[in-house]
Amino acid sequence: MQKHSGVKAFSCDVCSKAYARSYSLREHMRAWNVKHMQKHSGVKAFSCDVCSKAYARSYSLREHMRVHDG
């Protein structure tokens, strides 16, 4: 009944997003933690084939590609 009552008792301490189920909050935190750790690890797995500039996130590379696509 939690889902249909609209009550979201589980909230993220970082962004305040709320969830009705505890496992949804755990998944949110896991995904957030992975992204957060990527930011601080210095690993840049996405690199431009044109100029070799590298990024930690795929969407950053997609944004960068607009420079080359005109």
Containing 46, the helix (H) or strand (E) segment is strand 46-47
Domains defined for the chain, CATH in brackets: 2-69 (3.30.160)
The string of pLDDT tens digits covering residues 33-47 is 887 777 777 889 899
Per-residue confidence (pLDDT) for residue 64, from 0 to 100: 97
Tokens of 7: 């009550």
> Quick check: 39 and 56 in contact, CB under 8 A?
yes
Would you say the pTM of this structure is higher than 0.75? no
HSE-up of residue 42 (Cα within 13 Å, Cβ side):
0
Band of pLDDT at residue 23, cut at 50, 70 and 90: very high
Residue type, 56: A
